[in-house]
Amino acid sequence: MEIVVVGISHKTASVEIRERLSFPEARLPDALSKMKGISGVGENLILSTCNRVESYATVKDASGGMERIKRFFVDYHGMDGDGVNDYIYCLSGRDAVRHIFRVAASLDSMVVGEPQILGQLKDSFDHALMNKTTGVVMNRLMKKAISVAKRIRTETKIAESAVSISFAAVELARKIFGDLKDKSVMLAGAGEMAELAARHLVNNGAKTVMVANRTYERAVELAAEFEGVPVHYEDLVHEMARADILIASTGSPHYILSAHDMARVIKERKNRPVFLIDIAVPRNLDPEINRIDNVYLYDIDDLQGVVQSNIKERQKEAELASGIVEEEIETFLTWLKSIEVVPTIVAIRARAEEMRAAELEKTLSKMGDLSEKQKKQVEALTQAIVNKLLHHPLVALKKSAGYPESSSHVESARVLFGVDEKTEPDGPEESSALSEAETR
């Protein structure tokens, strides 16, 4: 039994390809059911997001199993295999486990440290549980992946620094004001990036949003989304005295706020600090404004510099996180090796009991009349002999679990004790018979 990953992501395929291979939530039950029926594929789940489409599964044969899952992806969506095969990656064993842990911890995300992927993985796991396509191995793997992601967020700072312009604006605002509670925000222009920055500021405590736009109707519309206040564009400078934070993103070819204007505003505010964010190109705010005390002006290049610096910080934290992933891989693989031993131990005990019972019945039939007490004494004797004979080899098998020689020991034990492969866990139904207690 091998763990495999088959999929595509933002690293290997365009959004057009990812869209065509995606599995909408409504179709997941059907897709999971069909995958469950693929020969040689046991437990499985499907993770489908805007940035990746992946199947995590257990298979009897890694190479054949991955090829069949890849073919399923192509056939299910009615695509030409030659057109998408180059985009699909296949991983098995340790590499597959590493990939799954890194995905859960957002180390493989487009934005390292983003939190959404863990929730999406949990949702995919829930769908698989509801459709009964996972068992002991995949359940343990998913729970471990989730715990690894949580450990990384606890022990590293991978999600702490802003890596988008809008989040960088919030980070800088916090440095200036400390607490954004009750701060007021003015939007000059109604661009998408400015709107997003305003939303982040509101989510972080900002109270009032004012919107000034050349088209007043648009100002009214956007202000309503924030339960804010529309402002006539020509009143911008006058209303600025009420704003602690200004986000400028108009299409004006000239400065909409001069140093002279800002000097009047800061005087009216009695020198209370103002944070100005100029994300327009060309710039909306006169750079000379930065010379005024208690006025903090950042343009798009300043914010991009903050973002790049934070990305480097996240990369440093990602290196620490990768070390945690490697530790946790060893823990999981040791457990995984141990369950290779359990079916063999069960099979050997079953084989020995079958032989003991048959020989006991044969012997008792030749011994004439024995009392029930005597029969029980003979049976106890046979059980004791079998248990003592099996004790050392089964203990040795258990101890070998998790070590490289485990597989060869299992194979040798099967040959020496004459047991077949029927007890080997295959799909979710069979592997679920191995309780957590048996596999620890």
Q: Is residue 436's pLDDT more than 50?
A: no
DSSP string computed for 257-301 = B-HHHHHHHHHHTTT--EEEEE--SS-SB-GGGGGSTTEEEEEHH
Q: Which of these is catalytic: 15, 30, 50, 126?
A: 50
Q: Is residue 424's pLDDT more than 70?
A: no
Q: Confidence band (pLDDT; 50, 70, 90) for 286?
A: very high
Break the chain into its structural domains and give their ranges.
Answer: 2-160+313-332, 165-293, 334-439
In the prediction, which pLDDT does 115 show?
A: 82
In the prediction, which pLDDT does 411 show?
A: 84
| CA 384 to chain CA mean position, Å | 51
**φ, ψ at 283 (rounded to 5°):** -60, 145
Q: Confidence band (pLDDT; 50, 70, 90) for 426?
A: very low
pLDDT, tens digit, 9 for 90 and up, residues 103-148? 999 999 887 888 889 999 999 999 999 999 999 999 999 999 999 9
> d(Cα 200, Cα 206) in Å, to the nearest integer?
9
- Which helix (H) or strand (E) segment holds residue 435: the answer is none
**Contact between 333 and 404 (Cβ < 8 Å):** no
Strand partners, 184: 208
- Tokens matching residue 398: 């258990």
* Max CA separation in the chain (angstroms): 118
The residue among 210, 169, 170 whose CA lies nearest residue 189 is 210
User: Is residue 50 among the annotated active site residues?
Assistant: yes
Residue 38 corresponds to which amino acid?
Answer: I
Burial status of residue 220 (CB atoms within 10 A of its CB: 0-12, 13-18, 19 or more): middle
| Average pLDDT value for the chain | 89
The residue among 64, 3, 65, 57 whose CA lies nearest residue 31 is 57
> d(Cα 285, Cα 269) in Å, to the nearest integer?
19
pLDDT, average across residues 277-292? 93
Q: Which option is the CATH number for 165-293: 3.90.930.12, 3.30.460.10, 3.40.50.720, 3.80.30.20?
A: 3.40.50.720
DSSP class of residue 106? T
Burial status of residue 421 (CB atoms within 10 A of its CB: 0-12, 13-18, 19 or more): exposed
pLDDT, average across residues 291-301? 94
Q: Which option is the CATH number for 2-160+313-332: 3.40.640.10, 3.30.460.30, 1.10.3470.10, 3.40.50.1980?
A: 3.30.460.30
> d(Cα 90, Cα 236) in Å, to the nearest integer?
57
The residue among 150, 153, 149, 137 whose CA lies nearest residue 332 is 137
> d(Cα 321, Cα 256) in Å, to the nearest integer?
45
**Contact between 127 and 29 (Cβ < 8 Å):** yes
The proportion of the chain whose per-residue pLDDT surpasses 90, expressed as a percent, equals 62
